[in-house]
A and B are shown apart, each in its own frame.
Chain A
Amino acid sequence: MARATESTLVREDTSAYEAVAGLTVGLAAVLFFLALAALVDIVSLTDTVVGVPTLTLLGTLLVVMGVAVVGFGLLSYREVFPTQPRESAGLIAALLFGGIWFLLGALVGSETLGLGPLGGLVVGLVAGLGAGAVTAVPREDIGSTLPAGALALVFGFVFLLGVVGPEWSWSPANFPDDQQVTFFARSVAPFAVQGSALVVGWAAAKAYGGFGARGRHFGAYLLVYLNALAIIAVLVALVAFVVFKGFVPVTESVQFGLGVGPETTVALFGFSYTVVWPVYWPFLMNGASLFTDITGVFPAIVGTAWLVIGAVVLAVPLGVGAAVFLTEYAEQGGFTRVVEVATNALWSTPSIVFGLFGAAFLVPRFTPQPQKSLLAGMITLGFMLLPLVVITAREAMVAVPDEYRDASAALGVSRWQTIRSVVIPASMPGIVTGVILGVGRIAGETAPLLLTMGGGSFVPAGQRAKVLNGFQLSLSPPFVTNPELTQATTALPYQLYQVVLTGTGETAGVNDVLAFGWGTALVLLAVVLSFYAVGILTRQYFRSKLKYE
């Protein structure tokens, strides 16, 4: 290129051009999240935002940004401001813009202009090829701004002129009548706005960086950053949604004060001690009962807690033991590879398969008559947890440096003692991470519980699984018995399924079945997160023992 630009090593001040470009980038981000809010119904399309109808506001913003971006391109092309554009915006951008404009052209051609499928195809091809050519052929500053700005302008005017209003809907004619699909403005419009905001923001970010390598860096940075923020936003929205829906039923008539709560009697091996709680929280402390106003999920919380504890107690020693054998004793080769593949496959086995296995193999084994039981549920979930514990424990042990093993062997310490006092402590954080991940999965499992553990989903508080109180000593074998373990009981995900889908709640005295479901979901989320918190604290403890602060 014959054009020589002066480049300076240090940019001392921001030019007006850069300031406006930066402002446009910020506006694109605002628009992106506004559209995200509209998508999840936080902002309604039929309503107004700061006094302006939502769609009008979105359309205006799009038009403003479209004009701005096209302006950057033209100004840069006329070399009003110093930029370093390359010869072309590149093939990938051309394909992307071509594709977008093809879709847009085909839709507008066939539907808005009423040219029919063939006419739509022609319009789409013209638009797509045109946009691709405009992107690829001219210099980068034109190629990456004009198609983007034009896209924003088209959508902006579509919303501003009311072509797509809040009540707009479109049912494509080429679906069979009994499988009609309808697109509504409330889902299509936010998507279109989000897409254009990304494209325009990318172009504006490139303009802000003066195109060229620096511009590409800013463009990519914007896309990656918005992507990460959007993921966080979706997560936050999900949790917020559950909290929002579940908060009212969960906190109904909570009372604080001495003596208002229920009595708890802890009895273990014949000793008992009674405390009265200073808080009465009906949703968390009640079971199903005709004598209380509010039906609660207490038995289900207890059931879930025991399930997780049982599964962890079963799976962790077995899994860590298997990992020790595989990493420290077994000859590395065909056998260990087969075991590794098998464990990975086991971890991806669908949970309903585990459930069916439990129902066929475990349920008939503990009682004279086949009976679903807490123990069968624990063992089934333990089997589900086992492969992940093996995988993560193995990885953690392989990561322990061989220098430790050498040092220990050179001191004359046997292999088993080396494993016990050096290898396992050093791999504890990794093992705990695996258990955390696994518990997150099994605590929310419903399918295996349906088949192995679930009894009545609405249980009076008095009939919860009292595992601790259930231990009984006797002088004849097996010396310790616990009838609670062989009883069917309930758990949070199981109860959630029952109440939302099978309508058992109505007969059990639940007034608002959906609200009860959201409340149960919130409690389940809280229980899983608290297991998570315990896991992270444990991991932190083991880490702090290994590291020097």
Chain B
Amino acid sequence: MSETESPTQTDGTDSTDSPHQTVAGETEERLREEWREYAFEDETKLAVEDLDVYYGDDHALKSVSMDIPEQSVTALIGPSGCGKSTFLRSLNRMNDRINSARIDGSVRLDGEEIYRDGADLVELRKRVGMVFQAPNPFPKSIRENVSYGPRKHGDINTGLLPRLLGRDDTEAETELVERSLRQAALYDEVSDRLEDNALGLSGGQQQRLCIARCLAVDPEVILMDEPASALDPIATSKIEDLIEELAEDYTVVVVTHNMQQAARISDQTAVFLTGGHLVEYDGTEKIFENPESQRVEDYVSGKFG
């Protein structure tokens, strides 16, 4: 991962001596002081404090602190390589899967520290689900894809032995599959071919299947890493509608490249800029209409990035 991109250009706005510094003489510390004053009405679901992530020698995320309120959509935006995906992946400890990654700081889910020793990764990832950039259904049937998580967690038992013991959960499975697919707005399209291989679906359908697969585990938080970037506009708008619906029951954190998308679907927006800094975090309207930082204004108005 290359986290150090060429410095941003802000020509045409305020006078800047060096592109490396923050605009208009603001220091990073001052910026952080300013946006620390945000306040959201809802309960805090995820509280991140002073999170640093290193990949080997590369300092990918620099002392990020933010509180994510529950049952809302939080968008993370910023140019490529600014650390927003890294931030997202540290919320369910997927960064642990990268050998060279080292993480400092604290992330609390409902007040419980997820980085303390002895944290149960299985339980954490059941509660914090994730949808990836490229649709990645398993090469199995649609039904098996959706019921994969609960089956592996032992919540659903099917097969010969449970049937002999009278503990067969096939009906529960069917119900769960239908419910999850309906929640992901996919059921009507695939109800007649649940036993077909999921790789036969279109890209947008595959992505909604991945969302259904995530919902089947009954998570509280859903992390989405650019869920629509590999899809066409129609499939994208379906995913966006879905995200807004999901926010009624779940806490959704979504990384996106697309600023219009962030503006359309999110309740609050965090802007990461080059170098792994969280530059500003506030209500979406505020970020897009009247941001505190000049750099953020330049970025959201398309002057750089």
A residues within 8 Å of B by Cβ?
401, 403-404, 406-414, 417, 421-422, 425-426, 545-549
Given A417-B152, A545-B139: 17 more A-B contacts, CB < 8 Å: A404-B138, A407-B132, A407-B137, A408-B152, A409-B125, A411-B126, A412-B121, A412-B122, A412-B124, A412-B153, A545-B140, A545-B197, A547-B139, A547-B197, A547-B199, A548-B198, A548-B200
Q: Quick one: which of B97, B196, B198, B217 contacts A409, CB cutoff 8 A?
A: B97
Give complex CA distance A410, B138 in Å.
Answer: 13
Overall SS of chain A's interface:
helix
Give complex CA distance A426, B198 in Å.
Answer: 14
Q: Quick one: which of A401, A404, A411, A426 contacts B149, CB cutoff 8 A?
A: A411
Give complex CA distance A546, B124 in Å.
Answer: 30
B residues within 8 Å of A by Cβ?
92, 94, 97, 121-126, 129-130, 132, 134, 136-140, 148-149, 152-153, 196-200, 210, 213-214, 217
Supply 29 A–B pairs (Cβ within 8 Å), ascending by A.
A403-B132, A403-B134, A406-B97, A406-B136, A407-B136, A407-B213, A408-B148, A410-B130, A410-B132, A410-B214, A411-B125, A411-B149, A411-B152, A411-B214, A411-B217, A412-B122, A412-B123, A412-B124, A412-B125, A413-B122, A413-B148, A413-B149, A413-B152, A421-B152, A425-B139, A545-B197, A546-B139, A546-B197, A547-B197
- Residue of A408, A409, A421, A425 with highest tally of chain B CB at under 10 A: A409
User: What are the residues of chain A within 8 A of B125 when measuring CB–CB?
Assistant: 409-412
Q: Quick one: which of B94, B122, B152 contacts A406, CB cutoff 8 A?
A: B94
Q: Quick one: which of B122, B136, B149, B196 contacts A548, CB cutoff 8 A?
A: B196
- Residue in chain B with minimal CB distance to A331: B99
Give the shortest distance, in Å, between A496 (CB) and chain B (any CB).
43
- Residue of B92, B97, B152 with highest tally of chain A CB at under 10 A: B152
Overall SS of chain B's interface:
helix
Is A414 a contact partner of B122 (Cβ separation < 8 A)?
A: yes
Is B199 a contact partner of A548 (Cβ separation < 8 A)?
A: yes
| Residues A411 and B148 in contact in the complex (CB < 8 Å), given A406-B94, A406-B97, A548-B197 | yes
Top 3 closest A-B pairs, CB basis? A548-B200, A412-B125, A403-B136
Is A407 a contact partner of B138 (Cβ separation < 8 A)?
A: yes
- Residue in chain B with minimal CB distance to A544: B197
A-B contact count (CB 8 A): 76
Is B148 a contact partner of A421 (Cβ separation < 8 A)?
A: yes
Give the shortest distance, in Å, between A522 (CB) and chain B (any CB).
41
Give complex CA distance A548, B149 in Å.
Answer: 22
Give the shortest distance, in Å, between A332 (CB) and chain B (any CB).
9
User: What are the residues of chain A within 8 A of B94 when measuring CB–CB?
Assistant: 406, 409-410
Give complex CA distance A182, B152 in Å.
Answer: 73
Give complex CA distance A406, B148 in Å.
Answer: 14
User: What are the residues of chain A within 8 A of B200 when measuring CB–CB?
Assistant: 548
- Residue of A409, A412, A545, A547 with highest tally of chain B CB at under 10 A: A412
Is B136 a contact partner of A411 (Cβ separation < 8 A)?
A: no
Give the shortest distance, in Å, between A545 (CB) and chain B (any CB).
8
- Residue in chain B with minimal CB distance to A546: B139
Give the shortest distance, in Å, between A229 (CB) and chain B (any CB).
37
User: What are the residues of chain A within 8 A of B148 when measuring CB–CB?
Assistant: 408, 411, 413, 421
User: What are the residues of chain A within 8 A of B97 when measuring CB–CB?
Assistant: 406, 409
Is A411 a contact partner of B139 (Cβ separation < 8 A)?
A: no
Give complex CA distance A214, B46 in Å.
Answer: 68
Is B136 a contact partner of A412 (Cβ separation < 8 A)?
A: no
Give the shortest distance, in Å, between B105 (CB) and chain A (any CB).
21
Give the shortest distance, in Å, between A546 (CB) and chain B (any CB).
4
